[in-house]
Every structure is written in structure tokens, then in C-alpha cells.
Amino acid sequence: MGLVLVGLSHHVAPVELRERVALDPERAGALAAALGEGRAEAVCLSTCNRTELYVAAEDATGAESRAVEALRELAAEAAAELGAVVYRLHDEAAALHLFRVAAGLDSMVPGEGEILGQVRSAFEVGSTGPVLDRLFRQALHVGKKVRSETAIAESPASVSSAAAALAQQVFGALDGREVLLIGAGKTGELAARSLASRGARIAAVASRTPERARAVAERFGAQAITLDEVSRQLVTVDVLVSATGAPGLVVSAGQVAGALARRRGRPLFAIDIAVPRDLDPAIHDLEGCYLYDIDDLEAVVAESLSGRRREAARAETLALEEAERFREWRSSREVVPAIASLRARAEEIRRSELARADARLERLTDNERRAVESVTAQIVAKLLHLPTVRVKQAAATPAGAVYVDALEHLFGLGEEER
Amino acid sequence: MAELLFWPAFLAYSEAVLAYAGNVRTPGLAGRLATWGVRLGWLAQTGLLAVQAVRADGFPWSTWAGSLNLFVWLVVTAYLIWGCRPRYRLLGLAVMPLAAALFLTSRLGGGTSVGGRPRYSDLFLALHVGLVLAAFAGFTLAAGLAALYLWQERGLKRRRASVLRVRAPALATLETLTGRTIAVALPALTLGIVVGLVRLREEGGGFDALMAVTLLTWLVYGAYLLLRYELGWRGRRTAYLALVGFLLVITVRLGLPLTHFS
């Protein structure tokens, strides 16, 4: 059974084309079912960065044509543009590609975690059989293994996640830590959301416009306050996020110093993602205060991404090893029919010989008969065990086909009884 | 038998040191190898101490080198309580080289051999030496935690872009653990000192400089707990205080041969 991958991704196709062929899970499932008709198997993986159709079929050429045609239908009037961007991979190359995708090695941000969930969703709605079932399970395993055995996914890949990771470096788990958000814009809300997703509680939202502060505060279940009330909040909060459009400083070092006296040494982590800056840079010089502005956060992200790229080399090795394992599995599958025939032939001979000896065995008790059955079955199993193991091992090598031929020739497998 | 157990323990500790260094460069497998090195080394050293205890006529670690052997075991034991977690592997880089070096020093001084007869009673030695060494082991670990805190804090203050690259415990965690370790170690030191003073009074011995430094050590760590838990001191100030206390611990350890084992 051949394995075919037909697809396009952000590496080669512009977003205008990618959005045309993008599929929601329901349509991905329907297309997989259509491509998997007959004895074929199919999975459609569609994300914002890629649409890839994986098909396993006896007639690999026909399956590939059907997959390309399906993409052309999705692209509709942009079908002509597909020719230059669609890639087609076969067998082990297709498997390696999927393993790299699941590991996040083919993503814009190396090691990003979302893709693993998308691979799982595609697998769940796919029309799978033995080949794609094994392929996708192994891909999910590769994805998890790469993330647990390398540091590719450990470091933050965006300003908001870098801010949250730095806060964790100060406080550890953010559960129950209180956040004061100054500014009711999208940027600040995104950073606050990143902190909230890690367990922090958005305690208060301050803004020059009370209505906007209330709207954002409601979304977080927080208290809306005015800028005049910020000093009071500084005594209790652990993290301060500021992202206003104010032309000057919103919080001075003096305000923070005043609050520090009543904080009993608790650290304060401040994130200033406004330009021009909202928080007095001198805050960073205060004992127990850590202030990171947008440049600092972007430097952390840049370093983090370069770290991810370094880890990607190790992840590539893991993906290659798994692709080799998949190749060995597929090769061993090719000898399965020959081994099954051999075992069936041996069992058939055993039963026919027992039947011929039936007259001589009729004086045996039931227990003795069962013992004869068991002993003959064990002899057959033991005789076939080593050849079975050796043929499976050989299947993963270029000599595999020779072994299968030899097996069929020596035991007359597939020949009609004479 | 004791000699046979020293080398596996020492080699395992040395392997852990190298693996911890490798883990800084490439986290993962090296870190796991380091942890196993510490575990296996600790098991071998535990066996060594057991053999010494069985074969000795009395408390087997009454010499300076012998007490160093026990001290290393206590430090590694304390480290193992939370050192196995991946985020604390940097602490291993601080603690294990010290442990390996002191262990070797102990052997060179004859502290890993069997036999010998102590000058003092078993009960006194077990209480006084055991408690003081357990406290010192705790203070050593606390110093490692405080040093790791200062290193991590400096990275955050300097806004090092690579501050997240090396996995290290959070500042708050390091500070809490330092405080808790000292809070456990100080009562042990207190009891150890009391036992020593009781014996001193019974035997009419003199009060020497080393005893004064030990009392000063007690005062520094007592001040640490008071300032941290009662007056709300946090951060660098308490970390430096823990390191000052550790300098006194080193002074006491180095001064022991001059006053107690001369």
C-alpha cells in the first residue's frame, strides 16, 4: 500500500491561496471520507499555515491524482496557481514530513504547540486504516517526544508569553498572583490574558476612560479603577502591566517606592509595553522591582527563537529516527501475508495429519487427546517462531523481498494443492 | 569493604559534577545522568557509612576527616530531597563539586577508613557532632540556594535576554526554600550547641575561639529568620545574609582541626 501526501503550506503558498483551500474539521472529515472510499485511507490536515492530504492506497498514483483534483476543486478559480506550489511526497518522505509538522519543525515559530492539537483533530475526523492510523499515532508520539526531550517549546515565542514567562521566573506558579492592568487597549489585554491563562488573577483595570476600563474589567471579572487609584493598588498587586497611549509617564518611581514600604519585601514585576513608555525606568532600580519594557521583551523573544532554532537540530534527529522506524514497520507489513500463509499452511498440515491419525487415536481419553492437540500446536509454533522473527527483521533491509520469495518458494505458499 | 565503597561513591559524585556542567550547555539527558550519579553515589556512601558504623568501636566519625565524610553525606541527602527536580539542577552544579571535593579530602585525611577509637562518649558525639553537622549541611544547601537566587536575580535585573534559556527555579521558590532550610537547620544547631555546652560545663573545659564563631553563626542565622519572618526582609539582603552565615560555617569547619582535633 502506497502513502501519498499532496499539500501546500506557508513556505510556498500565499495566504490568499491557503485560505481558499482551508478546511474546517467537518469539511476535512468529509473530504477524508471521500478520498478514503474503497480500501483507501485518508486524513486532511488543514491549519492556517497548511492544507495537506494524506492518502494511503494500493493504487498510489490514482490516489495522488484524486488528492490533487480535490485541492483544485477547493481552490476553484485559483486552481491554476496550484501547480507551482503544491508539493507531492511519497512513502517515507511523506511520513518524515508529517513527523516534522507534528514536531513543530515546519511551523513559522519552531516548536509551537498548537500544531500538535491540529494533527490530533485531523486524525480524529480522518478515514484511517492500519497505515494512516499507525502514521498519525506515531506523529503524535513524535510531537510529544520532541517537546519533552528537547527545549524547543520551552521558551516564549511572543511578547505577551515572554512577559508571562518572566513573571513566572520571579514568582513561580502564577496561581493567585494579582495583576494590575493600566490601559484598556488590545495590547495590554493580550498580555493580561497571557498572565491569566497561567493562573494569575486580573485584580484591577485602570484607564483614563472609565467606560473602557469597565468593559475590560468585566471581561476579566476585575475591578475598574481610575489612574488616581493606581498608587493604592500598587501595595497589593504582584504584576503591573501598562499599555496606555499616554504621552508621558503614568507611574513614577516615587509612587512605587511609596508602595514598597507597605509590601513587606514582596517583589513587583512590571511590564511596560507602551510606546512612549508609561512606567518610570527608575522603578527597575528599586529593590525587589523588575521592569521590562517592549525592547527588553522583544530581546527575550529573539533570544528565545534563536534557542528554539538551536533545539530544532536535535528535534530533526528525533523525527528522522521515527521516520526510519515507520519505514521498518511498513517493510515488516509487506511480509505479513507471506508469514500468515506459512502459518496457515502449517496449521492445515497439522490438522490434516491429526485427522488421518484419528482412527489410531480413538482409544485416547479426552485429556490425552487435548494433550496431543497441545503438543502438536506447540511444535508448529516453535518451528515457525524463528523463521517468522528472521523474516520480519530482514523485511526492514533491502534483502526483505528475497526472503519473502524464498519463503514462498520453499513452502509452496500461494500454489494450489496438487 | 569501606575502601571498595569509597570509589564508586566518589566516581558517581564526579560523574554528577561533569553531567551537571554538561546539562547547562545541553539540558536533558546530561541532567538525568547527573541525578542518577548523585543517587548512586549517595547509595554507595550510605553503604560506606554503614560499614564504618558496624566496624567501629564507638562513634565512627569523631575525627575531623571522618566528620567531613558524614558532613558530605548529610549535604547530599539534603540536596536529594529536592535536587532531583529538573529545575534544581543548577543547584547541583553548586553543591556537587563541593561535595565531591570534600569527600576526597575526607579520604585523604583517613575519614573513609574503618576502626579507631573516639576520645568522647558515643552519645555525646552522636548528639553534638551529628546535630551540628546536620545543621551545617542545611546551611550549605541554603547557601547554594541563596547563591542561585542571587545569580538568577542578577539576570533579571540586568535584563539578560537569555534569562529564560537556563531552567532555574523561580526567585520566590528559591527564597522560600532558603528560609525553610535555615528554619530546619537552626534548631539542630541550637541543640548541638547546647549538648556541647553541657559537656563543656561538666568537664570544665575552656571556651575557645571556634565556639565563639559557632555562636556567631547561630546569631547570624537567628537574625536571618527574625528579619525574614518577622520584619519582612526579602530578596538580595536575606540571600547575602545566608551567604555570610555560610562563610562562618566554613570558618568553623576549617578551624576544627586547630581546636577540637589537635
Domain map of chain A by residue range? Answer: 2-154, 159-301, 335-411
The residue count for chain A: 418
The arrangement of strands across the sheet holding A50-57 comes to A41-46, A50-57, A2-9, A87-90
Query: What's the mean per-residue pLDDT of chain A?
Result: 90
Q: Which of A15, A48, A313, A379 is flagged as catalytic?
A: A48
pLDDT digits (tens, 9 = 90+) for A226-254: 999 999 999 999 999 999 988 889 999 99
Residue A264 contacts B, CB cutoff 8 Å: yes
Q: Check residue A261 and give its pLDDT.
A: 84
- The model's pTM is 0.71
pLDDT digits (tens, 9 = 90+) for A373-388: 999 999 999 998 988 8
Is residue B157 exposed (0-12), middle (13-18) or buried (19+ Cβ within 10 Å)?
Answer: middle
Q: Nearest-CA distance from B151 to chain A in Å?
A: 12
Confidence of residue A1 (pLDDT cuts 50, 70, 90): confident
Instruction: Show which of residues 21-60 on chain B sit within 8 Å of chain A, judged by CB atoms.
Output: 27-28
A291 in helix, strand or coil? strand
Is domain A159-301 in CATH 3.40.50.720, yes or no? yes
Q: Nearest-CA distance from A228 to chain B in Å?
A: 28
CATH superfamily of A2-154: Glutamyl-tRNA reductase, N-terminal domain (3.30.460.30)
Is A48 one of the annotated active-site residues of the chain?
yes
Other beta carbons less than 10 A from residue B222's beta carbon: 15
How far is the C-alpha of A296 from the C-alpha of A275, rounded, in Å? 13
Extract the C-alpha cell encoding A215.
Answer: 468593559
Q: Check residue B118 and give its pLDDT.
A: 59
Extract the C-alpha cell encoding A93.
Answer: 518522505
Pick the residue from chain A with its C-alpha nearest to B152. Answer: A169
Q: Residue A190 contacts by C-beta under 8 Å, 6 or more apart in sequence?
A: A160
Q: Check residue A112 and give its pLDDT.
A: 85
Q: Mutate which of B25, B145, B160, B171 to disrupt the A interface (most A C-beta within 10 Å)? A: B171
Predicted confidence (pLDDT) at residue A98 exceeds the cutoff of 60: yes
Q: Check residue A418 and give its pLDDT.
A: 43
Residue A300 contacts B, CB cutoff 8 Å: yes
* A294-334 helix and A336-356 helix, angle to the nearest 10 degrees: 40
Q: Mutate which of A152, A169, A301, A317 to disrupt the B interface (most B C-beta within 10 Å)? A: A169
Other beta carbons less than 10 A from residue A173's beta carbon: 13
Looking at chain A, the whole-number percentage of residues with pLDDT higher than 90 is: 62
- Cβ separation A170–B170 shorter than 8 A: yes
Q: Where are the alpha helices (DSSP H) in chain B?
A: 2-25, 29-55, 64-83, 89-108, 122-157, 171-203, 209-225, 236-259
- Cβ separation B232–A265 shorter than 8 A: yes
pLDDT digits (tens, 9 = 90+) for A253-286: 999 999 998 888 899 999 999 988 999 999 999 9
Query: What's the mean per-residue pLDDT of chain B?
Result: 86
Return the percent helix, strand and coil in chain A, to nearest 5: 60, 15, 25
Predicted confidence (pLDDT) at residue B178 exceeds the cutoff of 80: yes
Confidence of residue B257 (pLDDT cuts 50, 70, 90): low
The angle formed by the CA atoms of residues B9, B10 and B11, to the nearest 5 degrees, is: 95
